[in-house]
């Protein structure tokens, strides 16, 4: 079939108009992209987006923020920092980031005591904070420190075999202590046998399952601290009764036995003493928390009706759990005729009550906050890296020291950093990309060529 010259001209005109329309459309889209931006974070844990808490903080900071990163010329590291800061800059235009090679300014490097890893200095309203590690949580907390100009100290009681915030043993809290420091929350250890009282700068006192009893005078100091409105984090263990008197003061009782949960087998854990929490009772600490947390060797707790505090269940075991009073070995079953109790059972409580607080004026009423957890291991070096344990620990600390706005700043951990493939999978992918796909493309090209040649 022959096409007339007039028909050829119509086809050319039609194709020209379509091309012109496409060029105009692309030009319009390009212009709109310079005026408006749209982003979607499709990562599993929203690791490329700022939390609402960080956005609220940026809205409350009217002045310019200056970040100076004394980092060597490492493109990969500098790019990671720039990408994080860019998320803040998109919401606050007057936030500036400057990179400086420490080797280019040796005098300044010595003055700032910069080591090989480098530091990042955050400046706001004439004040500054130094960060050796930067992520959303640490940077937002540094900005919070600069906005409030207040130091937050967490005091850990030691001297009785407790877990220490700077210890390196598996049972210690050294990694958690480092995470607090990265977020500008300072940890200090005290021994009440050598100190007359709990330091007045303590925003929170932490007690972690002592292995020997506290002296009578030490216990009285802790009780007085609680009675005067001090905030407290108490971590205990099954069979540990050295803090029973303090728990009684709070209206709590530790149930005999160890919580066991047959649900743990669903997650590949063969030890029934590992309790997993995934459904959390409503509370500011657990708001929007969607990750599983793991608690090895936990004790169930019971609250009294006569407590002076407003209690809230924070962690609860599953329906198929119970308190096992016998040895946890071999096949264990629930004994309904003994002292064992069937789940669900609470093993962490958050307590609150109005209080004038130590050092507060009588007309300034604050809220005293206390958390008691029946497990002292979930924040230890051995288990803090499990799923959401670190996030839960930071949320508890932020709530206890009244940083409510920043409880839901996630401790974001990049998931799926590596792709594990079997040798068969690698062979199939390699065969497909190197042989199958090229052959399909060549075959398709040959088929089209033959069809056109036959016309």
Contact 309, 352 (CB under 8 A): yes
Q: Is the pLDDT of residue 199 over 70?
A: yes
Q: What is the pLDDT of residues 34-49, one digit of tens each?
A: 776 666 655 555 566 7
Q: What is the pLDDT of residue 416?
A: 45
Mean pLDDT of the chain: 84
89 and 172 share one domain: no
- DSSP track, 27-68: HHHHHHHHH-------STT-TTS--HHHHHHHHT--S-EEEE
Mean pLDDT of 133-148: 80
Mean pLDDT of 325-332: 81
Question: Which among 371, 389, 406 is the end of a domain?
Answer: 406
343 and 220 share one domain: yes
Mean pLDDT of 83-92: 89
**In sequence order, what are the residues at sequence separation of 6 or more whose Cβ sits closer than 8 angstroms to the Cβ of residue 193?**
159, 215, 218
206 and 95 share one domain: no
Question: Which among 115, 137, 159 is the end of a domain?
Answer: 137
How are the residues of the chain apportioned to helix, strand and coil, as percentages rounded to the nearest 5?
Answer: 35, 20, 45
C-alpha to C-alpha distances, 160 to 175, 234, 240, nearest whole angstrom: 20, 14, 13
The answer to whether residue 142 is domain-embedded is: no
Number of domains composing the chain: 2
Mean pLDDT of 401-412: 67
The answer to whether residue 359 is domain-embedded is: yes
User: Of 411, 408, 375, 404, which is closest to residue 179 (Cα–Cα)?
Assistant: 411
Q: Is the pLDDT of residue 52 over 90?
A: no
Instruction: Calculate ∠ Cα 125-129-130, nearest 5°.
Output: 150
Domain range enclosing 364: 151-406
Q: Is the pTM of this model over 0.85?
A: no
Which of 103-107, 376-380, 416-420 is modeled with the greatest confidence?
376-380
Mean pLDDT of 307-332: 88
277 and 364 share one domain: yes
Better-scored residue on pLDDT, 5 or 409: 5
The answer to whether residue 363 is domain-embedded is: yes
Contact 24, 17 (CB under 8 A): no
Q: Is the pLDDT of residue 169 over 80?
A: yes
Q: Is the pLDDT of residue 355 over 80?
A: no
**In sequence order, what are the residues at sequence separation of 6 or more whose Cβ sits closer than 8 angstroms to the Cβ of residue 226?**
232, 246, 249, 250, 370
Which CATH number covers residue 201? 3.40.50
Q: Which element (helix H / strand E) includes 142?
A: helix 136-148
The answer to whether residue 356 is domain-embedded is: yes
Helices 174-182 and 389-400 meet at what angle, rounded to 10? Answer: 60
Mean pLDDT of 156-170: 92
Mean pLDDT of 57-85: 88
Mean pLDDT of 302-331: 88
Contact 54, 140 (CB under 8 A): yes
Q: What is the pLDDT of residue 387?
A: 80
Q: Is the pLDDT of residue 360 over 50?
A: no
Q: What is the pLDDT of residue 278?
A: 85
CA pair distance 249, 216, nearest whole angstrom: 15
158 and 96 share one domain: no
Contact 222, 158 (CB under 8 A): no
User: Of 201, 85, 193, which is closest to residue 143 (Cα–Cα)?
Assistant: 85
């Amino acid at each position: 079939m022959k096409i007339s010259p007039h028909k050829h001209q119509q086809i050319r005109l039609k194709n020209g108009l379509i091309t012109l329309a496409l060029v105009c459309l692309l030009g319009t889209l390009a212009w709109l992209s310079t005026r408006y931006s749209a982003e979607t974070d499709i990562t599993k844990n929203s690791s490329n987006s700022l939390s609402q808490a960080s956005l609220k903080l940026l809205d409350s900071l009217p002045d310019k923020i200056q970040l100076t990163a004394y980092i060597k010329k490492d493109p990969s590291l500098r790019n990671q920092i720039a990408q994080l800061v860019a998320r803040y800059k998109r919401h606050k235009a007057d936030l500036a980031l400057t990179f400086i090679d420490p080797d280019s300014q040796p005098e300044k490097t010595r003055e700032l005591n910069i080591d090989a890893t480098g530091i990042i200095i955050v400046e706001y309203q004439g004040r500054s904070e130094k960060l050796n590690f930067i992520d959303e949580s640490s940077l937002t907390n540094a900005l919070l420190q600069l906005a409030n100009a207040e130091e937050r100290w967490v005091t850990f009681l030691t001297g009785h075999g407790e877990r220490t915030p700077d210890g390196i043993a598996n049972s210690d809290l050294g990694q958690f202590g480092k995470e607090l420091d990265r977020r500008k929350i300072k940890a200090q250890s005290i021994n009440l046998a050598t100190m007359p009282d709990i330091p007045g700068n303590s925003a929170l006192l932490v007690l972690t399952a002592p292995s020997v009893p506290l002296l009578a005078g030490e216990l009285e100091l802790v009780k007085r601290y609680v009675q005067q409105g001090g905030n407290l984090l108490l971590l205990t263990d099954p069979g540990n009764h050295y803090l029973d008197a303090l728990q009684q003061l709070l209206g709590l009782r530790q149930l005999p036995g160890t919580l066991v949960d047959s649900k743990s087998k669903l997650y590949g854990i063969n030890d029934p003493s590992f309790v997993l929490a995934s459904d959390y009772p409503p509370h500011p600490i657990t708001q929007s928390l969607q990750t599983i947390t793991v608690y090895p060797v936990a004790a169930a707790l019971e609250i009294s009706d006569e407590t002076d505090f407003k209690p809230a269940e924070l962690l609860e075991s599953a329906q198929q759990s119970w308190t096992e009073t016998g040895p946890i070995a071999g096949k264990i079953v629930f004994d309904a005729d003994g002292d064992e109790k069937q789940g669900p059972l609470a093993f962490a409580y958050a307590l609150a009550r109005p209080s004038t607080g130590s050092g507060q004026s009588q007309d300034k009423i604050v809220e005293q906050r206390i958390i008691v957890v029946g497990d002292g291991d979930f924040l230890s070096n051995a288990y803090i890296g499990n799923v959401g344990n670190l996030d839960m620990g930071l949320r508890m600390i932020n709530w206890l020291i009244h940083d409510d706005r920043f409880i839901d700043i996630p401790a974001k951990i990049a998931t799926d950093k590596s792709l594990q493939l079997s040798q068969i999978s690698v062979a199939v992918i390699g065969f497909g990309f190197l042989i199958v796909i090229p052959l399909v493309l060549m075959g398709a090209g040959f088929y089209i060529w033959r069809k056109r040649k036959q016309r």
